[in-house]
Amino acid sequence: MSAADQERIMQLVKRILPDGQGINKDELEYLTEKLKNITPSPSEGEKPKKAKKSKLVLKNAKGTIDQGPAEMAIREELFDKIKAVFKTHGAETIDTPVFELTDILTNKYGEDSKLIYNVAKPEGSDESLSLRYDLTVPFARFVAQNKIQSIKRYHIAKVYRRDQPYMTKGRYREFYQCDFDIAGSNYAPMFPDAECVKIATEIIDSLDIANSRIKLNDRRILDGIFSACGCPDNLFRAACAEVDKLDKLPWTAPENEVSVRCGLSEECADKIGRFVQKSGAQELVKELLADPVLSANKSATEGLKEMSVFLEYLEAWNIMDKVSFDLSLARGLDYYTGVIYEIVMTPSEQDIKNAEAGTTVGVGSVAAGGRYDGLVGSLVGGKGKSNVPCVGISFGVERLYTLLKRKKEASSIRTTATQVFVMSGQKNMLKHRAAILNDLWEAGIPAETSYKPNPKLLNDLQSCESRNIPWGIVFGEREIEEGIVLLRSIISRDEEKVTRSDLVKVLKEKLAV
Amino acid sequence: MSAADQERIMQLVKRILPDGQGINKDELEYLTEKLKNITPSPSEGEKPKKAKKSKLVLKNAKGTIDQGPAEMAIREELFDKIKAVFKTHGAETIDTPVFELTDILTNKYGEDSKLIYNVAKPEGSDESLSLRYDLTVPFARFVAQNKIQSIKRYHIAKVYRRDQPYMTKGRYREFYQCDFDIAGSNYAPMFPDAECVKIATEIIDSLDIANSRIKLNDRRILDGIFSACGCPDNLFRAACAEVDKLDKLPWTAPENEVSVRCGLSEECADKIGRFVQKSGAQELVKELLADPVLSANKSATEGLKEMSVFLEYLEAWNIMDKVSFDLSLARGLDYYTGVIYEIVMTPSEQDIKNAEAGTTVGVGSVAAGGRYDGLVGSLVGGKGKSNVPCVGISFGVERLYTLLKRKKEASSIRTTATQVFVMSGQKNMLKHRAAILNDLWEAGIPAETSYKPNPKLLNDLQSCESRNIPWGIVFGEREIEEGIVLLRSIISRDEEKVTRSDLVKVLKEKLAV
């Protein structure tokens, strides 16, 4: 260490000592950096450390869970239903890596950026990486990087947020999102936007687990309201955040006026408050277009006119009973530029009973999205030709999963595809069991046998019953000699003799494969 | 900061200053910890930092790639075929988080542990996390943590290795593994082990992309050979590593004797060399069991006897033509305890031609695995009752993907499920297109229309042809008045009139959905 280094460290430390505050950021970094480069010497009497044989704690990383076979069976059913709707709308699928260059994720998520997981940067690496926080920004990066002009894609994958986990409410640090997005220029206004909402209703319908309400709004209308009510430009985002909290915190909470909370003038807060508590449909659009304050605002009128077109599609598709144009919907993310929407499950009677009993209500937002016309452009550094307008919707499936799981009886969940179980009441039959299995496997018939050398027939039969396996193949010395097996229906317990050479054919008929 | 803290920091820093070495590890940690808790004050004249507007570089993290729609279509076909085989064998599926507590992954991967990605540990977090390196260790953790006694599961998911990427050869830092494992005690010896190899042949057969060879060996036989040849215990692993390199580096490379490379005596290296270049089947097992040197070794005889049982299953399942018992197979991972195997694609004639032309040969290992009876036990801290013996196989799909992709003609890859495209030659027909689409979507018929307000009919028809969409629905003012549409076969170009009310029924018949 040089004399200058020593001098500098000494100075810094003298300043730390009085109150622990007299050091600035650069100085702290300098000192920390210096300390990193020091190879510590062993303490006196300290022996080189032996790897301590401490007991390993077996657990998941905080906020994450394993999915066992029963959970996976339900989850796959859920994904299959969601995928079927995406495919019905002609979507392709893509995949992107779990981590992105950190720069790509910067300035996209407002306050929540602090929840992003970073990857440790080993010595010699020049890349800063972060785990993806959502699927939208990686999608925009994919579109921009590959110079794609138009695409309709879905993506089902895990995202990562170092949020305070709330496991019983399904808030995890690793969770799936199912995203559907439409990117392209010169599209008929609001048609792709309306299709995203239509997809949400089709998915909720196909799951048949709860009722839902869809709230619609438009960032341009909100901005227009703020502007028309005299909110200064630099407070738009703060005002937006207050609107976003409306379901938890009333606009005029006693002794906690919104004007105090975010620095708006009382008059302005008051005006905004009158607007953002309105909801309705086409008649509200008309009312607002006729409003003397709003109608003078270009952003608001543009948003309102397109909202009307948007609602026309939803009317044509018969889903207006599930939808409301709701001025209190704001959405937290930075990148939305037009229409925004949120799908909220409404509590069933059972949910309300559970809530009264003190257990969690299975309601809340299950999907949300909107139009983000500037995101691709911002990644390529301009809004010119290389920009691609986008609109999309993202399903957070954890809540849907909980509802679907509740609907299923545990016993009805099958975790395997097994249709046939091969068994014998006699000893030393494993090679014969293996030979029969081979015929079934080669024919693509899902089949198993016990891995035990000499399993008990009764145990095998009970296992078939508890696992809902429909067919058993039973044999012993005599059947081998005769070249047959007994094909047993596990449900009816009927047995029929089938020759070995006919077995695959007979089973294929019974299973209709 | 307390007076005692101040005193201690002062003492430590005084000791740093003379030579930068007079501080031990605990003291360094203490000081670093203290510095972390200091909130720096701004420097004089320092302004809040403005985000510099530098141009964003759009690229993937090193060693990772995006999967576009065509890649995903092939990849999903690949996964579906692999899953179908796993399910035919009665396997369940599970999922585990992408990161594990770092301790769980420690001491599992030999030298390659340095390739593990770690997650940055933010202030205040007490968890060290690492991205999973394979699916085997997370599986063992899942079994141990949930006290599972027996399970047969598959898991298809991405794993992470900070290896030197080699993109054209399919070596990435993020890649999929498809794992199948059987865990349970008192199973018939070698039956689950042989099933894993059987599964490999079924998967390779179902993909129909190349020929394969399967190499088999057993860690106990290798260890027995080392021991019987006089290799000291502490050189087993080094000798094993040399065996593992046999396909790249001959045992007796000139001027680079194995004895020099890993410290074996010449005599011992010579003896081992004679064994590990042998391969064969049952006759080799017999030869080795009769070998005066090996037959005295308990580990080797145990391994050889079980190898014979193993081969009997493969004989019964008619796959001996693809298999060889190959003493040169070693496998690098620490956790194997018994039989090991590796599936290698053998080059086709086309591959050999490509190789002569200087392009990459699509051959090499596509799957590997073996028995790891101690891994679950090691996680629970003992080999007693809580241990669960396991055997499994892991497919690295990147190479299979490359082969499957090569087989497909680009034009035959369909990236969407779209069966019907709705179009009109006239203007202002979007709402009518939307209404027809709605009927098709509600019926689950995958359908699309152009997002353009007034697309050209010819462009739409060409798009159907290039995208292999089989049916078009064409209409104009006249058809609307008559309450019909024209249903057009894109291939034959035949058109038939269908009434709007019959449309869904007619299409369902044509598509057989």
Contact A68 B415 (CB under 8 A): no
Question: Which of A353, A386, A407 is at the close of a domain?
Answer: A407
Nearest to A180 by CA among A217, A207, A153: A153
Q: Are residues A230 and A290 in the same domain?
A: yes
Same structural domain for residues A400 and A442? no
CB of A158 within 8 Å of any CB in chain B?
yes
A13: chain B residues, CB-CB within 8 Å: 9-10, 13
B79 touches chain A (CB under 8 A): no
Q: Which of A15-19, A348-352, B218-222, B267-271 has the highest mean pLDDT?
A: B218-222
More confident residue, A75 or B258: A75
Instruction: Tell which of A9, A27, A35, A193 to mutate to test the B interface (max B CBs under 10 Å).
Output: A35
- Tokens 């808790």, located at residue: B37
What φ, ψ does residue A222 adopt, rounded to 5°?
A: -60, -50
Cβ distance B46 to A27 less than 8 Å, yes or no, reads no
The torsion angles phi and psi of B364, rounded to 5 degrees, stand at 125, -175
B436 and B356 in one domain? Answer: no
Which residue in chain B is spatially nearest to A46 when comparing CA positions? B24
pLDDT grade for B331, boundaries at 50, 70 and 90 = confident
B94 and B13 in a single domain? The answer is no
Position B62 in a domain: no
- Minimum CA–CA partner of B164 in chain A: A125
Shared domain for A154 and A248, answered yes or no, is: yes
B109 vs B435, higher pLDDT: B435
**Helix (H/G/I), strand (E/B), else coil: A96:** coil
Does B30 touch chain A if contact means CB atoms closer than 8 Å?
no
Phi/psi at B265 (nearest 5 deg)? -70, 155
Is some CB atom of chain A closer than 8 A to the CB atom of B115? no
Is the pLDDT at B2 greater than 60? The verdict is: no
In a domain, B78, yes or no: yes
* B46–A contact, CB cutoff 8 A: yes
Q: Which amino acid is at A390?
A: C
B192 in contact with A, Cβ within 8 Å = yes
Write out the H or E segment, with its range, that includes residue A144.
helix A136-145
The confidence score (pLDDT) of residue A20 equals: 45
Q: Of A55, A98, A191, which has the smallest distance from its Cβ to B158's Cβ?
A: A98
Q: Is B57 on the interface with A (CB under 8 A)?
A: yes
Distance from CA of A420 to the nearest CA of B (A): 9
Look at residues B407, B436, B468 and tell me which one is the last residue of a structural domain: B407
- pLDDT at A2 (0 to 100): 55
Q: In 3D, which of A512, A460, A466, A470 has the Cα closest to residue A491?
A: A470
Disruptive mutation site among A441, A448, A454 for chain B (greatest number of B CBs within 10 Å): A441
Find all residues with CB under 8 Å of A280, minimum gap 6, and list them. Answer: A287, A324, A325
B153 and B22: one domain? no
pLDDT digits (tens, 9 = 90+) for B434-457: 999 999 999 999 999 999 999 999
Selection from A185, A136, A56 nearest residue A340 by Cα: A136
Distance between CA atoms of residues B329 and B215, nearest Å: 7
Q: Does one domain contain both B424 and B394?
A: no
Number of separate domains in chain A: 3
Could you tell me where the DSSP H helices lie in B122-232? Answer: 136-145, 191-207, 219-228
* Residue B77, burial from CB neighbour count under 10 angstroms (0-12, 13-18, 19+): middle
Contacts of B442 in chain A (CB under 8 A): 202
Identify whether A425 is part of a domain.
yes
* Facing A144 at nearest CB: one of B9, B27, B58: B58
* pLDDT attached to residue A50: 44
Residue of A127, A335, A109, A179 whose CA lies nearest to B60: A127
Residue A61 lies inside a defined structural domain of this protein: no
Residue type, A50: K
pLDDT at B239: 85
B120-158 per-position pLDDT tens digit: 998 888 899 999 999 999 999 999 999 999 999 999 999
pLDDT tens per residue, range B44-74: 444 444 444 557 889 999 999 999 999 999 9
Residue appearing with tokens 């996390």: B129
Rounded to 5, what percent of chain A is helix, strand, coil? Answer: 45, 20, 35
- Site of tokens 């076969």: B489
Helix (H, G, I), strand (E, B) or coil at B507: helix
> Residue A308: its pLDDT value, please?
97
Which of A60, A99, A120 comes nearest B118 by C-beta? Answer: A120
Residues A297 and A258 grouped into a single domain: yes
Domain CATH code at residue B505: 3.40.50.800
Closest-CA distance, A265 to chain B, in angstroms, reads: 27
Partner residues linked to A174 by β-bridges: A160
Stretch B84-100: mean pLDDT: 96
A41 falls within a domain: no
Rg (CA), chain B: 31
Based on the fold, state whether residues B86 and B26 are members of the same structural domain.
Answer: no
Within a 10 A sphere around the Cβ of A293, how many other Cβ atoms?
17
Contact (Cβ atoms closer than 8 angstroms) between residue A351 and residue A361: yes
pLDDT, chain B, mean:
86
Partner residue opposite A67 with nearest CB, options B67, B89, B94: B94
Is A382 within 8 Å of chain B by CB? no
CB burial of residue A282 (10 Å; 0-12, 13-18, 19+): middle
CB contact under 8 A, A99 and B317: no
Instruction: Verify that B394 and B437 share a domain, yes or no.
Output: no
Q: Write out the two tokens for A86.
A: 């995406």
- Give the residue on A whose Cα is nearest the Cα of B147: A58
Q: Which one-letter amino acid corresponds to residue A400?
A: L
Q: Give yes or no for a contact between A425 and A395, defined as CB atoms under 8 angstroms apart.
A: no
Cα(B303)–Cα(B288) distance, integer angstroms: 11
Task: For chain B, say whether A436 makes contact (Cβ under 8 Å).
Answer: no
Task: Tell me whether residue A49 is in a domain.
Answer: no
- CA B508 to chain A, closest CA, distance in angstroms equals 13
B15 shares its domain with B97:
no
A234 and B CB contact within 8 Å:
no
A451, B182 Cβ separation under 8 angstroms: yes
Strands B339-346 and B323-326: unpaired
User: A68: which chain B residues are within 8 Å (Cβ-Cβ)?
Assistant: 94, 146
Same domain, yes or no: B363 and B457: no
Q: Note down pLDDT in tens along chain A; length 513 residues.
A: 455 565 666 665 665 554 444 555 565 566 666 665 554 444 444 444 444 456 788 999 999 999 999 999 999 999 999 999 999 999 999 999 999 999 999 888 877 889 999 999 988 888 999 999 999 999 999 999 999 999 999 999 999 999 999 887 788 999 999 999 999 999 999 999 999 999 999 999 999 887 889 999 999 999 999 999 999 988 888 888 888 887 777 777 666 667 777 778 888 888 999 999 899 999 999 999 999 989 999 999 999 999 999 999 999 999 999 999 999 998 877 789 999 999 998 877 766 676 666 555 556 789 999 999 999 999 987 656 679 999 999 998 888 898 888 888 766 788 999 999 999 999 999 999 999 999 999 999 999 999 999 999 999 999 999 999 999 999 999 999 999 999 999 999 999 999 999 999 999 999 987
Which residue among B90, B94, B96 places its CB closest to the CB of A448?
A: B90
Q: Hey, which residues does A339 pair with through a beta bridge?
A: A218
Can you give the three-state secondary structure of B207-261, one letter per residue? HCCCEEEEEEEEHHHHHHHHHHCCCCHHHHHHHHHHHHCCCCCCCEECCEEHHHH
CATH code for position B85: 3.30.930.10
Residue A135: which domain range? 69-407
Residue carrying structure tokens 């999963």: A401
Q: Is residue A351 part of a domain?
A: yes
Q: Is residue A43 part of a domain?
A: no
SS3 B24: coil
pLDDT at A44: 42
Binding site for L-histidine: what residues of A are annotated? 134-136, 161, 177, 181, 331, 335-336
Q: How many CB atoms lie within 10 A of CB A496?
A: 11
B41 touches chain A (CB under 8 A): yes
